[in-house]
Structure 1
């Protein structure tokens, strides 16, 4: 689902294999099985895309995953860098009633702890206008609403430097040499590398 969003919905088995860090032959076998179940469109050498049913299944899993991440952070006090792998286990629970009640218990959150939108029960995702911090010009003002890289190491870096979702950020200066940026967050001034700025989603 995530790969298809950036490639007009059609992706190669090699791209899937690279993302999953497995052999292309293993991906092809898996794709054929999912195609037989009506979840994927697949023709040899023409790439793979989700069917309507496949997209709904994918959005259902994403909804479960992001709701569980929200529950773990908000109710069980996990850090946002700790919840991804646990949510990957919990997302396979089949009970729709449980997930609906979890959604209600959390007061129907719109985004997860990483700022990613949570699909509703019907699979609808709230569309947001956003940019990467690295794309903004000097003297721009913005608010951090998410992260492109949700790896534990990146999230811990943000915690270490006290950068959080909801922070108001002002671009003070951009370096031509390495595209790094000098920013102000509250009363603090920070120098962020291009890699960091390219992984902060703002609006």
Structure 2
């Protein structure tokens, strides 16, 4: 099946939507995430279904087939390895890498991607805490997690993941001294790190995941 950046972007978006929560993705949500007209998404979903990459019934959720998931994981691996490479080797900050990786993931060869993976020491997670599939498309077991906004006051856990969907929020989080891997305790207005209170804007509650 020939490579198509548009198809790959659709499959990657469907996969990522349910990676950290259980609600399936509908065509309208897919359209919003991709910034594309719903009618265009409807047509593309029909094509993906005809190619055996997604399963979809009208007015129902879009789900990846095994072949669709395999192809999605290939693109997820590319994207997250490139983000990691840009941060670790080229001095990018974690709020700068997403759009750059969106371009490069379609351009670099498999050989270069393997060299990047080897150079980085085969990392398991990208700068935002998202797991990087290995070359066989396997994703390591993820520990139980809870969204910051759903964690009770007093909950203590490690920051597992920070969503990269809003670069502005990433900068706010970084300026607050918060990073993936830190141990925190949930307070009414943010978190405590080593006993020091860190107040956070309300929007941050929906973009940080903690160990359960």
TM-score range, shorter chain: 0.7 to 0.9
SS of the equivalent of 1:28 reads helix
Q: Deviations over 1:36-64 (max 9, x none)?
A: 32212233344432111111010100000
Deviations 1:136-193 (A, max 9, x none): 334332221211354110111012212112222123x43xxxxx34x32135322234
Deviations 1:42-99 (A, max 9, x none): 3334443211111101010000000000000000010110000000011113632222
For normalisation by structure 1, the TM-score amounts to: 0.85
CA RMSD of aligned residues (A): 2.2
2:194 counterpart (166, 172, 186): 186
Q: After the TM superposition, which segments of 4 or more aligned residues of structure 1 sit over 4 Å from their partners?
A: 4-9
Q: Which shows bigger deviation, 40-49 or 74-83?
A: 40-49
User: Would you say how many aligned residue pairs link Structure 1 and Structure 2?
Assistant: 195
Map 1:160-179 onto structure 2 (within 5 A). 160-171=175-186, 173-174=187-188
Q: Deviations over 1:78-136 (max 9, x none)?
A: 01100000000111136322222221111110100001011111111122222123333
Contact 1:4/1:49 (8 A) holds in 2 = no
Structure 2: stretches of 5+ with no match in the other structure: 1-14
Alignment of 1:1-203 (within 5 A): 1-5=15-19, 6=21, 11-93=25-107, 95-126=109-140, 127-171=142-186, 173-174=187-188, 180-181=189-190, 183-186=191-194, 188-203=196-211
Q: Which runs of 5+ in 1 are unaligned?
A: 175-179
**Greater gyration radius:** 1
- Give me the TM-score of the superposition, normalised by structure 2: 0.81
C-alpha spacing 1:163/1:136, structure 2 compared with 1 (3 Å): same
Q: Secondary structure at the match of 2:134?
A: coil
